[in-house]
């Protein structure tokens, strides 16, 4: 059951190797999670370049928006957004910090993507 999981997204794609394939895989993963309310994880925490998927122009915005509508808490690393100069481009989710992630990760299983 995904409802008791925290998904940690560390980049704009999934896996290593071909960047375009990695982006396609991550988009498919998020789409599948968003299609069924029962599959929606408790939280998705984006850090490093992973915050870019929740910013204006991202092809993954529809999937992330649907996850939020299905009850997933989408948190974006404030330090990462500031470092990448993306604070004013956040399109979905809430800006949070490492304390938020640590609190959830101490109670729920973390799936790193």
Each residue's pLDDT tens digit, 56-86: 999 999 999 999 999 999 999 999 999 999 9
Tokens encoding 41: 């994880």
Which residue has 């993954």 as its token pair?
A: 60
Query: What per-residue confidence (pLDDT) applies to 37?
Result: 83
Segments forming the whole domain that contains residue 21: 2-112
CATH number of the domain enclosing 9: 3.40.1260.10
Please report, rounded to a whole number, the percentage of residues in the chain having pLDDT higher than 70: 100
CA 10, CA 112: separation in Å to the nearest integer? 8
Q: Would you place residue 13 in the very low, low, confident or very high pLDDT band (cuts 50, 70, 90)?
A: very high
Mean pLDDT of the chain: 95
**pLDDT tens digit sequence for 87-100:** 999 999 999 999 99
The total number of structural domains that make up the chain: 1
């Amino acid at each position: 059951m995904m409802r008791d999981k925290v998904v940690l997204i560390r980049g704009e794609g999934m896996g290593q190797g071909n960047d375009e394939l990695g982006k396609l895989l991550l988009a498919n993963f998020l789409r599948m999670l968003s299609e069924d309310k029962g599959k929606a994880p408790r939280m998705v925490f984006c850090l490093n370049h992973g915050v870019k998927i929740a910013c204006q122009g991202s092809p993954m915005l529809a999937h992330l928006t649907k996850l939020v509508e299905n009850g997933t808490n989408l948190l974006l690393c404030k330090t990462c957004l500031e470092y990448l100069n993306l604070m004013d481009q956040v399109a979905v989710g809430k800006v949070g910090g490492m304390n938020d992630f640590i609190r959830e990760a101490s109670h729920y299983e973390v799936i790193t993507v």
